[in-house]
Amino acid sequence: MTYRPVSFLIITTLLAACGSKEVQQEQQAPVKVTATKVSYNDMPQTFTYSGTIEPDNTADIGFAVPGVVNGILVEEGQIVKQGQLLATLDATEYSNALAIANAGLDQAEDMYRRLNDLYQKGSLPAKDYIDIKTKLAQAKANKEISAKHIADSRLYAPITGIVSARKIERGSAAAPGVPAFTIVKTDMVYARVSVPESEVGAIPRGGSAQVYIPTLQDSVEGKITIINPQADATSRTYNIKIKLSNNNGRLLPGMLTEIRLNTGRSANNLTVPATAVVRDADDLTYVFITNGQRQAVRKRVTVGALTGKNEVVITTGLQGGEQVITSGLTNIKDGTSVSL
């Protein structure tokens, strides 16, 4: 009677241990995967950079004469045409000055006609004749200046573009040289990037560039038109600009871009199938390789361009010759036993 419970306990313990070993053996069963050897391939040399869209031209414009603003005809964000009226000043003072100048000119012309006849007859000294000619010239100049002041009290757009800033209000005082509006010309724009000294020599002027705009989820083809010969004194980088057509106005100054520059040369790049690259929740990219113990080893990598063969260029993280796992990735983690 006293031995039966003990025997039952021993049997139960042995059965549990056997079951645990079976579960452990099942958990340690190798995962079936497919792997391929990492290799180097000759392919066109390209560089990838982050950049921004810049307008073709930016104009800060203002009145050439002082005055009080009495009319504003455009607002920020509005498209304006070259020669379009933007704002006006109260020109009462300039109109009165023009009226005075006209009266002075009429008087000078009348005096000149009468004295000129006397001079032609020899009845007027040369000194007096030169004096009246000078007064007539001054009267004409005064009229032209007053007329120009009236014209300058009306501000026109010097270029076709978008009003990006309005810096005046109705009733405010305008002064010469103080910007009233900023207009950006955007029918043609540039994508600007900073290129390190080690790479700028490989980039040809006039070469092609692929510009991807994430916010538009679209790409635009452009040409490298400007390579600044002066490096930034701090970063030692060179500014490069790619000209882009923007007739539809979709590309706006300040948009971020991802730019791929084609150097026209070939380069020996390390590539892996795109299916081998995994991106985690922290936006880090990595691959799994197999080691000599047939285990999956996670390796963080930096990826470059995607090739036409559905392969990805690996810029850092691999040396070449490794066996990279390309399928079965959902069932493995770092240290998992695998079978090929």
Enclosing domain of residue 111: 91-152
Segment 160-201, tens digit of pLDDT: 999 999 999 999 999 998 999 999 998 899 999 999 988 888
- The answer to whether residues 274 and 244 belong to one domain is no
- Is residue 24 a part of any domain in this protein? no
- The answer to whether residues 228 and 241 belong to one domain is yes
The residue among 266, 285, 300 that closes a domain is: 266
- The answer to whether residues 211 and 252 belong to one domain is yes
Residue 10 banded pLDDT, cuts 50, 70, 90: very low
Domains identified in the chain, total number = 4
- The answer to whether residues 198 and 159 belong to one domain is no
Is 80 exceeded by the pLDDT of residue 18? Answer: no
pLDDT of the residue at 19: 52
pLDDT of the residue at 148: 95
Residue 55 banded pLDDT, cuts 50, 70, 90: very high
| Residue range 248-263: mean pLDDT, rounded | 88
| Residue range 308-317: mean pLDDT, rounded | 80
- The answer to whether residues 173 and 223 belong to one domain is no
CB 83 within 8 A of CB 73: no
- Is residue 14 a part of any domain in this protein? no
pLDDT of the residue at 268: 74
**pLDDT averaged over the chain?**
86
- The answer to whether residues 167 and 102 belong to one domain is no
304: tokens are 């470059």
- The answer to whether residues 287 and 146 belong to one domain is no
- The answer to whether residues 97 and 172 belong to one domain is no
Q: What are phi and psi of 261, to 5 degrees?
A: -105, 130
Residue 335 banded pLDDT, cuts 50, 70, 90: confident
Residue 124 banded pLDDT, cuts 50, 70, 90: confident
Segment 199-252, tens digit of pLDDT: 888 888 888 899 999 999 999 999 999 999 999 888 889 999 999 999 888 998
- Is residue 4 a part of any domain in this protein? no
**Which CATH number does the domain housing residue 163 bear?**
2.40.50.100
- This prediction has a pTM of 0.61
The residue among 249, 266, 283 that closes a domain is: 266
The residue among 266, 298, 316 that closes a domain is: 266
pLDDT of the residue at 204: 86
- The answer to whether residues 335 and 241 belong to one domain is no
| Residue range 292-307: mean pLDDT, rounded | 84
- The answer to whether residues 99 and 203 belong to one domain is no
Considering only residues 279 and 102, tell me which one the structure prediction assigns the higher pLDDT: 102
pLDDT of the residue at 96: 95
**Which CATH number does the domain housing residue 38 bear?**
2.40.420.20
Residue 2 banded pLDDT, cuts 50, 70, 90: very low
Q: Assign 3-class secondary structure to the chain.
A: CCCHHHHHHHHHHHHHHHHHHHHHHHHCCCEECEEEECEEEEEEEEEEEEEEEEEEEEEEECCCCCEEEEEECCCCCCEECCCCEEEEECCHHHHHHHHHHHHHHHHHHHHHHHHHHHHHCCCCCHHHHHHHHHHHHHHHHHHHHHHHHHHHCEEECCCCEEEEEECCCCCCEECCCCCCEEEEEEEEEEEEEEEEHHHHCCCCCCCEEEEEECCCCEEEEEEEEEECCCCCCCCCEEEEEEEEECCCCCCCCCCEEEEEEEEEEEEEEEEEEHHHCEECCCCCEEEEEECCCCEEEEEECEEEEECCCCEEEEEECCCCCCEEEEECHHHCCCCCEEEC
- The answer to whether residues 205 and 262 belong to one domain is yes
